[in-house]
C-alpha cells in the first residue's frame, strides 16, 4: 500500500491496529470515527459482526443536549458522545470494552470521547 494522502496513512495505521485487537460479546470493541463536523462511536462484537450500541453528534438525543451555538465537531460534542455511549452500554450490562481509535491520534476529540466514557463508568 503506497501512501499518497492522509487518508491512506490513517488506513495503514488502522489496519495495523485492527490486526491486534478484536471485540467479543463480553468485551466489545469501541470504535471512534471523527469527521470535520461530527463524531461517531460504535460498539461492535467482531465475532458476530453486530453493532451492540452507537452514538453520534447527529443522534437526536445527543444533539438535543448540546448547548446553543455549539457544533457537534468540537470537544463538548465529543464528551457528550462518550457519556452517551457509556450510558447505553451500562443499560445492556456491558462495562468493559476495547478502545479502537481507528487510525486517529489519541488526541483532541478522540481523547475526549475516551475520557468521558471512562468517567461515565466504562473500563478500558
- Confidence grade of residue 53 (pLDDT, cut at 50, 70, 90): very high
Q: CATH classification of 6-119, choosing from 1.10.10.10, 3.30.420.10, 3.40.640.10, 3.30.420.100?
A: 3.30.420.100
* CA distances in angstroms from 86 to 5, 10, 19, 81, 93, listed in the order given: 33, 26, 25, 9, 10
pLDDT in tens, 1-49: 688 999 999 999 999 988 888 888 889 999 999 999 999 999 999 999 9
3-state secondary structure of 43: strand
pLDDT at position 36 is 93
Domain residues of the chain, as ranges? 6-119
Are 15 and 98 in contact by the 8 Å Cβ rule? The answer is no
pLDDT at position 111 is 97
pLDDT in tens, 55-107: 999 999 998 888 887 778 899 999 999 999 999 999 999 999 999 999 999 99
Amino acid at each position: 500500500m503506497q501512501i499518497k494522502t492522509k487518508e491512506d496513512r490513517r488506513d495503514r495505521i488502522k489496519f495495523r491496529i485492527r490486526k491486534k485487537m478484536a471485540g467479543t460479546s463480553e468485551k466489545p470493541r469501541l470504535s471512534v470515527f471523527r469527521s470535520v463536523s461530527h463524531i461517531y462511536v460504535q460498539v461492535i462484537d467482531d465475532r458476530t459482526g453486530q453493532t451492540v450500541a452507537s452514538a453520534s453528534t447527529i443522534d437526536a438525543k445527543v444533539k438535543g443536549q448540546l448547548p446553543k451555538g455549539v457544533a457537534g465537531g468540537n470537544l463538548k460534542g465529543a464528551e457528550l458522545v462518550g457519556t452517551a455511549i457509556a450510558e447505553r452500554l451500562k443499560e445492556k450490562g456491558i462495562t468493559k470494552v476495547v478502545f479502537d481509535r481507528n487510525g486517529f491520534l489519541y488526541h483532541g476529540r478522540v481523547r475526549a470521547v475516551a475520557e468521558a466514557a471512562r468517567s461515565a463508568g466504562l473500563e478500558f
